[in-house]
Amino acid sequence: MANASLVIGNWKMNGNAALTRSMTDALRSAQQPTDSVKVVVCPPFTLLGELTRHCYYDNIAVGAQNVNANENGAHTGEVSIEMLKELGVEYVIIGHSERRAMYGDSNDVVAAKTAAATAAGLQAVLCVGEDKQQRDDDKTWHVVEQQLQAACEQLSAEQATKLVVAYEPIWAIGTGETATPAQAEQIHAQIRAWLTERFAAVGEKIEILYGGSVKADNAAELFAQQHIDGGLIGGASLKEDQFVAIVQAARG
């Protein structure tokens, strides 16, 4: 039986206006009257307004893939929290491994973004995860714990109510490899214990997602794990039939 409550699609630097229409149509058609699974779509910045218009009356939330921690100012090419909120954005992905590796999002930068987003009322989807060498060296939890500690150090319990954690092993992102349900569950259980120790009762309710080559044919087994509350979906979220199937797997 699925344990999932949240499925987020991360389009990365893909998609167009036509996809915002076809995806919302597909998700709308598959909705259920008493739907317990929240669906979030995170397109590129240029499509946020378009997506919001298409899913305004539906139980589909809009998320962004990044944000700047500063309120405003001379930050050419950046987008602020208030700009996102004005577009109707509710979620924002922070600390994705691609941002960390390619665009200089250090633990300090991730912490600043997480603190600013949660303080402003956005749901911050904090990404954590290890690379292949770190897993081979048995350092997975050491890496994940450091990332959690850095990102959550400034957060109050109230801010933590706006936190989502996404465990994405870097070696499984876009590679076709996926952590086994047992491997994913082990790290998710450790994350849950850490969050509960850090934030007490609030930590017990923070949703923890798995990401890393989640597809329609492996989603149900992953979502059946006790501490896996849903998924952060990459490539499969660009294909209407696959993304709908993953959402259906989350519903059980």
Task: Give the catalytic positions in this structure.
Answer: 96, 168
Token digits of residue 32: 């259920």
Chain position carrying tokens 């979906």: 233
Chain position carrying tokens 């979620």: 91
* 230 is an annotated ligand-binding site residue: no
> How are beta strands 60-64 and 208-210 bridged, if at all?
unpaired
Token digits of residue 143: 């890496």
* 174 is an annotated ligand-binding site residue: yes
DSSP designation for 252: -
* 235 is an annotated ligand-binding site residue: yes
Three-class SS of 58-124: CCEEEEECCCCCCCCCCCCCCCCHHHHHHCCCCEEEECCHHHHHHCCCCHHHHHHHHHHHHHCCCEE
* 234 is an annotated ligand-binding site residue: yes
CA atoms lying within 13 Å on the CB side of residue 151: 31
* 132 is an annotated ligand-binding site residue: no
Burial pattern 175-208, b for ≥16 Cβ within 10 A else e, equals eeebbebeebbbbbebbbebbeebbeebbeebbb
* 237 is an annotated ligand-binding site residue: no
Residue 104 near residue 68 (C-beta atoms within 8 A)? no
DSSP designation for 50: H
Annotated binding residues for substrate = 10-12, 174, 213, 234-235
Annotated binding residues = 10-12, 174, 213, 234-235
